[in-house]
Structure 1
């Protein structure tokens, strides 16, 4: 009888040890799963692009980061950054348009490309005059994102090229509209206020035409 009781006690201790080990393993697995999930702070650091790839502030937009180019875009951190981004934006449209024409874009895409070159060249001249007054050196080339897009367009031709070009015009002009609206609320510079007020209707016209033309392709 004593031998039986001793054996039962041993079995009980073994069972408890097994349960304890199982609980520790479960807790450890739970900690691992929890540790792999991003915190709210980490999730809030995701970027959203503005005029030409600037980082958007989630706080300024009243929400989290946005991947949707049609969503609101935070203002640039300061006026020189805005001017450099706006210059990149002009070059993005001018050079992608020249590429589309070089590769034989026709019809609506051809007309749109010619309009982009004319209007964004004028915008560049207006912005350059402001930048010179404020000793800001503007970029004269596309940003890295649009250089990559240009490389993709180089591989296309015909309707595929035209569709790619028009879709990109929609995305770019929506971002530019969002950023100009946001920065106009922030900047105290009267020259930039005037520039944004003058340029916004042109960008809006481009956006509406881009949507219309892209939808017909």
Structure 2
């Protein structure tokens, strides 16, 4: 049960810290965090697609792969426009642990874990993009963050209904 509560506690801390955390984020930091988030979404969705029997979950996972592939391309293009070098994305430690937990889970337990992880991941992604959209330091990246916000909001609404 603790592996489910830890991500929720992190999200709660981010939400509570909201206005205090409204300091500008460096463009390189935003690019790295957005890339890690998209990489996690694609990898976790590919894992679930390999085993799930749930058609709705399959549709959602396919949508995650498509949308997060697009957002990665959009962030890369905006970073290039801003003159920022984009290194290959790398999972953050919590994301790597979540992928490992998904690999270890089987059947419907994997499906449930994926949905729970998606809720937390999308809450965190929404906060990231909203924050950079409002307080970012690079105009091209602020514009792309603004365009990503409604997509992530849609994903979050979808997964919360699962």
TM-score by length of 1: 0.63
Q: How far 1:173 moved relative to its partner?
A: 0.6
Which of 71, 77, 87 pairs up with 2:15? 71
SS in 2 for 1:165: helix
| Residue 94 (structure 1) aligns with | 42
Q: Distance in 2 between matches of 1:82 and 1:163?
A: 29
SS in 1 for 2:60: helix
| Residue 116 (structure 1) aligns with | 64
> Structure 1's 84 and 159: CA in aligned 2 closer, same or farther, altered over 3 A?
same
Kindly indicate whether the alpha-carbon contact (under 8 Å) linking 2:11 and 2:124 is maintained by their aligned counterparts in 1. Answer: no
> Structure 1's 105 and 168: CA in aligned 2 closer, same or farther, altered over 3 A?
farther
User: Which runs of structure 2 are paired with 1:75-86 in the superposition (5 Å)?
Assistant: 77-86=25-34
Which of 138, 143, 158 pairs up with 2:87? 138
Kindly indicate whether the alpha-carbon contact (under 8 Å) linking 1:95 and 1:142 is maintained by their aligned counterparts in 2. Answer: no
Which of 97, 111, 117 pairs up with 1:162? 111
Q: How far 1:163 moved relative to its partner?
A: 0.6
Which stretches in structure 1 are left out of the alignment for 5+ residues? 1-48, 50-64
Q: Distance in 2 between matches of 1:212 and 1:132?
A: 36
| Residue 171 (structure 1) aligns with | 120
TM-score by length of 2: 0.82
SS in 1 for 2:57: helix
Kindly indicate whether the alpha-carbon contact (under 8 Å) linking 2:123 and 2:156 is maintained by their aligned counterparts in 1. Answer: yes
Q: Report whether the alignment pairs 1:185 with 2:134.
A: yes
SS in 2 for 1:71: helix
SS in 1 for 2:158: helix
| Residue 3 (structure 2) aligns with | none
Q: How far 1:136 moved relative to its partner?
A: 2.1
Kindly indicate whether the alpha-carbon contact (under 8 Å) linking 2:48 and 2:114 is maintained by their aligned counterparts in 1. Answer: yes
Q: How far 1:142 moved relative to its partner?
A: 2.4
Kindly indicate whether the alpha-carbon contact (under 8 Å) linking 1:69 and 1:174 is maintained by their aligned counterparts in 2. Answer: no
Kindly indicate whether the alpha-carbon contact (under 8 Å) linking 1:70 and 1:174 is maintained by their aligned counterparts in 2. Answer: no
Q: Distance in 1 between matches of 2:160 and 2:139?
A: 31
Q: How many residues align?
A: 150
Of Structure 1 and Structure 2, the greater helix share is in 2
Q: Distance in 2 between matches of 1:109 and 1:162?
A: 8
